[in-house]
Amino acid sequence: MRNGNFLGNAYKKLEQVDASTRSVRAKLVFSSIQLILCASLSYEIDVNLDKKRKLN
């Protein structure tokens, strides 16, 4: 019985680690998307500023 209990506890801990890993992975994906959006916005701003400079 002790082995069954030990394996059950180990499985629960593994599930907790898996859940936290998914959470961290989701946060990394979200942060990556934010970084890409910020970079593209910054690029758009630079392009528009260059166009305005060339017109003046």
Place 14 in a pLDDT band, splitting at 50, 70 and 90. Answer: confident
Nearest-angstrom CA–CA distance, 46 and 32: 21
In this predicted structure, what is the pLDDT of residue 56? 73
So where are the chain's domains?
A: 1-55
| Neighbouring residues of 49: CB distance < 8 A, sequence distance ≥ 6 | none
In the block, tokens 């002790």 appear at 2
Looking at the whole model, is its pTM more than 0.85?
no
CA dist list (Å): 15 to 3, 9, 19: 18, 10, 6
